[in-house]
Amino acid sequence: MSIILALIVLSPLVSSVLIGLLYMFSITQKPLRKCWFTIPALFAPLISFVLGLSGFLYVAKYDVPLHFQPYLWLGVGEYKIYMGFLGDKLSLFMVLFITFVGWLIHLYATAYMSEDKGYGKFFFYFNLFLSSMLLLVLADGPLIMFIGWEGVGLCSYLLISFYFQDNANVVAGNKAFIVNRVGDLGFLIGLAILFFYCSDAGFSYENIAGKISTMPLWLMEIVGIALFIGAMGKSAQIPLYVWLPDAMAGPTPVSALIHAATMVTAGVYMVARFAFLYELIPNIGLFIAYIGAFSALFAAVIATKQSDIKKILAYSTMSQLGYMFIAVGLGAYSSALFHVFTHAFFKALLFMGAGAVIIALHHEQNIFKMGKMRHVTPVVYMSMLIATLAISGIPPFAGFFSKDEILLVAFGSGEYIIWTIAVCSAVLTAYYMFRLFFVVFEGKNAKHVHHPHDVSWVMKAPLVVLALGSLLAGFVGLPSLLGGTHLIGAWLGEWGMRALHVSHETEWLLLALNIAISLLGIGIAYKKFYAYDLSTHKEAKGIVYNKFYVDEVYDLLFVRSIKKLSEFFAVNLDVNLVDKFIMSLSYGFIKLGHVVALMQNAHVRFYALIMMLGISAASCYLILVLG
């Protein structure tokens, strides 16, 4: 049974390699029809989903995690690292929604990318990504997880710079890769420390958890921070978030799958996976929660002024990830994962809906050049409405329950500052999401450059499924207050809910407040942007529109200065100092040669003089010393 864990990862990997080879064949030998790529690309995630589901049911039935270790990956000295897979409740939960949402986005992409020359290449990368992501969640130890972790980073790079002929796209890809690598630096440091303290019996989570208490507290805190730096990179939190908005240069299905639903939540998953560590260091947890809260607010503020539809969604992803980090930081892992789960549905839907609108308008991304889309694509309109309500936190849509739970955790833990920041971000979220929605679908006097057209049903069908998901996903975590059983909380029992000391009255009050603030945000957006006259729109200016100039500051601090340093090393030190010194040695010999060469000047009298001097010296020596 446990072999299915490896098969879940292998299925997209094999299909990816196959598609890659077929693609190389098709561009160098003779072109192949698209179905050669479509069939493996769609089957692989489906197989993984079915296998994941069977593993899920198995674990649900027997309540024991699955282990699988096919081979010794690396055996050095007494340390042995196995290529190992762990299918417990947490990882199988992740597998289920990754493969399900992943499959839907694959399906959507077959339509979205259908006209593209790089169709085969796209699915080569896309399946490779899925495989890495599944390895990341199914790994049984941090080192194998790191392989998946870096693998998704690589695929993200490849897909962001998918249209590589355009410089901006490749620059965005490089930026994503390098910023993520800064995070990986932290991850690697944490991993190395853990390796030497906790790997006597093997380097799986289980062994580490058993040995973690032998570490001194300060070292645990360093490990906690180091690993979290990795999460900051991958999950786009302050200060390593700068790559995410630029990552929107990739095709829209990429933004939906990688930069919204799955990869960016890897950081949250990782912290939850290391719950055994973070529970021992609540200080670091609080730090994480604060970073999450500030990221949520910061991103929400920036999102209010953006005009590129995908960038707005990118900032909203960062903001929602901030909520998840609030929850994991405060130890409410199952709440965080609940939000990961609901977010995957509505955020994938938002991106795919945005993609449909972009396609309908012939690749227009500026929301102020859209407008009136309601009549063009009613299905997209409806599903976008559901997703927007879900992210804004309106019951009974999915986002409401999970966000409400996180706010409750923050309040119940007594972290009122975090709670206040989170509430403010919630108002802003409702505001900027409905700003987007009203402008795109209801805006008046739109001047479309091209005539908009409806999109195909292959694109719309996944939207409908995800819309249902965004409508219903919240009910798996219905709070007991409303008479529900919290299925996710029960499933992830080990990652426990925090016992909160909040009375029922307070809980009702908070619930009502949450709805009220969401409505407030929507109300403001309605007032300002409903039936917005697009012909009078002026491009925004100012510090918020320019994202607080963080990109510019980073560029100055890290890019330009390193280039200057590089020139200093290569020119001033290497050429003018090191090499000059070495060469001066050799020129010194030449000069010495010139001096000595003066002796050989073809003057017989000079030679005679030297001979005389020599003989005199020898005579003196003989007489004075020996004589």
Partner 1 sequence: MSIGILSIIIFLPMVTAFLLMLIPLPSRPTRNVAFGVSLAIFALALYIYTHFELTGALQFKEFYPWIKSYGISYSLGIDGFSLIILMLIATLIPSAYLLLWKNERSKSYWINMLFIQSGISGTLFSLDLFLFYFFWEAMLLPVFMIIGLFGSGNRVFSTLKITIYTIMGSLFMFVSILYLGVAHYYEFGLWSFALSDLVNITSIARDQKILLFFGFMLAFAIKIPLFPFHSWLLQTYSNSPTGGVFLLSSIMAKLGVYALVRFMIPLFPDLFVEFSLYFVALGIFGLVYFGIAAISQMNIKKMFAYSSASHLGFITAGVFALNVQGMMGSAFLIVAHAIATGGLFLLVGVMERHLGIRSISGLGGIATKAPWFTLYFAIMLFCTVGIPGTNGFVAELLIVLGIFHYNPYLGVLSALTVLVAASYMFWVFQKAILVKSDNNVSHMKDLSRHEIVGLFPLAFLILAMGVYPDLFLYKIEPTLQHYLLDILHVGVH
Which amino acid appears at position 427 of this protein? V
Neighbours of 483 (CB within 10 A): 7
Residues composing the chain:
627
Provide, rounded to whole angstroms, the least separation between the CB of residue 579 and partner 1: 4
User: Using CA atoms, how far apart are residues 582 and 575, in angstroms rounded to an integer?
Assistant: 10
SS3 of 81, please?
strand
Provide, rounded to whole angstroms, the least separation between the CB of residue 178 and partner 1: 6
> Is residue 147 within the footprint of partner 1 (CB under 8 A)?
yes
> Is residue 593 within the footprint of partner 1 (CB under 8 A)?
no
* Residue 11 near residue 48 (C-beta atoms within 8 A): yes
Provide, rounded to whole angstroms, the least separation between the CB of residue 562 and partner 1: 6
Stretch that binds partner 1, among 340-348, 443-451, 481-489, 573-581 (CB under 8 A): 573-581
Provide, rounded to whole angstroms, the least separation between the CB of residue 29 and partner 1: 11
- Residue with tokens 């879940």, as numbered in its chain: 8
Provide, rounded to whole angstroms, the least separation between the CB of residue 186 and partner 1: 9
> Is residue 177 within the footprint of partner 1 (CB under 8 A)?
yes
Helix-strand-coil split of the chain, %, nearest 5: 75, 5, 20
Provide, rounded to whole angstroms, the least separation between the CB of residue 357 and partner 1: 29
User: Using CA atoms, how far apart are residues 389 and 33, in angstroms rounded to an integer?
Assistant: 40
Which of 24, 217, 509, 608 binds partner 1 (CB under 8 A)? It is 24
Tokens, residue 202: 């093997």
Neighbours of 596 (CB within 10 A): 9
Neighbours of 67 (CB within 10 A): 16
Tokens, residue 340: 């990961």
> Is residue 154 within the footprint of partner 1 (CB under 8 A)?
yes
User: Using CA atoms, how far apart are residues 429 and 291, in angstroms rounded to an integer?
Assistant: 18
Provide, rounded to whole angstroms, the least separation between the CB of residue 551 and partner 1: 18
Number of residues in contact with partner 1, rule: CB under 8 A? 53
> Is residue 218 within the footprint of partner 1 (CB under 8 A)?
no
User: Using CA atoms, how far apart are residues 521 and 411, in angstroms rounded to an integer?
Assistant: 21
Tokens, residue 158: 């490849």
- Residue with tokens 């077929």, as numbered in its chain: 22
User: Using CA atoms, how far apart are residues 187 and 326, in angstroms rounded to an integer?
Assistant: 20
Which of 2, 174, 207, 304 binds partner 1 (CB under 8 A)? It is 174
Nearer to partner 1, 72 or 612 (CB): 72
Which of 445, 485, 566, 619 binds partner 1 (CB under 8 A)? It is 566
> Is residue 578 within the footprint of partner 1 (CB under 8 A)?
yes
Which of 456, 567, 608, 609 binds partner 1 (CB under 8 A)? It is 567
Tokens, residue 471: 């409508």
Which of 14, 32, 171, 385 binds partner 1 (CB under 8 A)? It is 171
Site string for partner 1, 72-111 (x = CB under 8 A): xxxxxxxx--------------------------------
* Residue 260 near residue 317 (C-beta atoms within 8 A): yes
- Pick out residues in 545-564 that bind partner 1 (CB under 8 A): 562-563
Stretch that binds partner 1, among 108-116, 148-156, 388-396, 479-487 (CB under 8 A): 148-156
Query: Cα-flanking dihedrals φ and ψ of residue 84, to 5°?
Result: -125, 145
> Is residue 590 within the footprint of partner 1 (CB under 8 A)?
no
Contact residues for 413 (Cβ-Cβ < 8 A; gap 6+): 330, 498, 500
The residues binding partner 1 (CB under 8 A) are 24, 27-28, 71-79, 143, 146-148, 150-151, 154, 157, 161, 164-167, 170-171, 173-174, 177-178, 181-182, 184-185, 188-189, 192-193, 195-196, 562-563, 565-567, 569-570, 574, 578-579, 582, 586
